[in-house]
Amino acid sequence: MLMKNLLNYPAVRRIFASLFTLAFSFEVLSQTVSIDYLLLASPNIISNYEVDKNFNSVRLNMPFSDDSIFNPGVIKNLQGKTILKIDLVYTIFKESEGFSQPTLNRNRLERLRKLKPELFSNSAITWQVYAQNGCRDKESCKDFFHGIVIYYLKTPDKESLKAERDYFESTVERRILSYDTSYRRKTKITERYYQPILKSKQERGIKYEHKSMWNRKEIVKKDTFYIPTVKPVYGYVASKAALRPPMKLYGFDTVVLSVFNRNIKWNDMEVVMDVTGSMSPYTTQVVAWIALNQNIKKVHSFTFFNDGDAKADNSKIIGSTGGIYVTKSNNSEEIVGSMRTSMSKGSGGDSPENNLEAILLAIKNNPDCKEIILIADNMSNMRDISLISQIKKPVRVILCGSNYGVNAEYMKLARATGGSLHTMEEDLYDLFQLNEGETITVGKQKFAVKGGDFVLER
């Protein structure tokens, strides 16, 4: 009771959130990308490295032929950011034959790992090594950049969030999907006459319009009519623009539609979807899929999550972050309404998302469901992966934005739950059959199972 009362105070909640985050980092921040793996990469030979201005970046400046960092404080600018790619940059020129560039590269990467260990826990991040050959002596090489450049997505602001939602609105159209016909029963007198008393006259079909002194029997005939009332049933469908999303970062990516179309036997599903920033091109693909009546009938409910309804990052507690919206309707208009609500309430904030919290709520709402379909942002890790042992249903992960690499955390989720992993090109159903030490190739990446995790290998 005391603990429950203490959690009513925001300051106490923030302290507990920090403790949970600290415990989480020690428990599950496995090195899916090892330094040994990175050192085996073939360098890109260039004259002079230039920072890619198309992305936001942080530069860790290092001296020529040295692993120290001039500006380690800039690493704090990466807090909560979604990391896209990391470049290690050096010059080929060396002063002595005994100098070892691989050793220097290792030391520089070790420095980075001490500063920001979580950079090595997301295999979706693209790593590149650049060797500059444009300088011929020590003095001229000092003018070249040496060190590490980390590229990241900008944290969504009000303007970018509005643009994201405007894009979503531009790709869905409200239409009449069908007509609902109801019938109202109405009884009407169609004939009124008087029947003769004599049976012989009755048999001859004699009828009288007026009652006479012989007290003839009044006959009333009634007919029942069913009057139809036709009402249009409205819903949302994806427009042509939805099928050509502006995916500047990942390229043309219709992974949601592709995976659903390949796996038509999925049934009795709980669809759980990340609707945080940059996911709107995929939400419109879901709209396109549910517009077909035979598809929507396969889903028990849709669960949309935004990682906390714009809650401060230090207030997000594993398992109770919130920002989860559930609809059990089989009407696309109501489903899109639930999407809109979830998208408008929050953008995700920091990079990790509350995927497993949303999955557990979906299972609670439908304990008898056969499978969970998780539509996830490949670039974001799961803040609550420590809850993985609580999930007792197979999770089928549709990875959005995995063109350049697969996030190994979602492979772990699929393997641990007996589920599967799905990209634009592949359906991986056998992950749970992999034993410790065995390897699997996904796209251009090779992973080995080590300690229950998937670790990149050459």
Domains delineated in the chain: 31-153 (3.30.1330), 158-171+243-434 (3.40.50), 178-232 (no CATH)
Sorting pLDDT into bands at 50, 70 and 90, what band is 433?
A: very high
82-91 sheet: strands from edge to edge: 44-46, 126-132, 82-91, 147-153, 56-61
| pLDDT tens-digit series, residues 107-150 | 999 999 999 999 999 999 999 999 999 999 999 999 999 999 99
pLDDT for the residue 248? 43
Q: What percent of the chain has pLDDT over 90?
A: 56
Q: Packing angle between helix 280-290 and helix 255-262, nearest 10 degrees?
A: 30
More confident residue, 127 or 13: 127
Residue 121 · residue 381 · CB < 8 Å: yes
Rounded-to-5 percentages of helix, strand, coil across the chain: 35, 30, 40
pLDDT for the residue 80? 84
| pLDDT tens-digit series, residues 212-259 | 767 788 888 888 888 888 888 777 777 766 555 444 444 468 899 999
Task: Give me the half-sphere count of Cα atoms (radius 13 Å) on the Cβ side of residue 223.
Answer: 6
Q: Which of 226, 214, 225, 217 is nearest to 192 (CA)?
A: 217
CA separation for the pair 436, 450 (Å, rounded): 6
Res 179 pLDDT > 70: yes
Q: How many CB atoms lie within 10 A of CB 360?
A: 21
Beta-carbon contacts of 196 under 8 Å, excluding residues fewer than 6 positions away, are: 202, 206, 207, 208, 214, 216
pTM for the model stands at 0.79
Sorting pLDDT into bands at 50, 70 and 90, what band is 382?
A: very high
Residue 206 · residue 200 · CB < 8 Å: no
pLDDT for the residue 150? 98
| pLDDT tens-digit series, residues 440-457 | 999 999 999 999 999 999
CA separation for the pair 376, 393 (Å, rounded): 17
What beta strand segments (E) does 239-284 contain? 269-274
Q: Burial code of 166-176, b = ≥16 C-beta within 10 A, e = fewer?
A: ebbeebbbeee
| pLDDT tens-digit series, residues 20-66 | 333 333 334 468 999 999 999 999 999 999 999 989 999 999 999 99
The letter for the amino acid at 82 is T
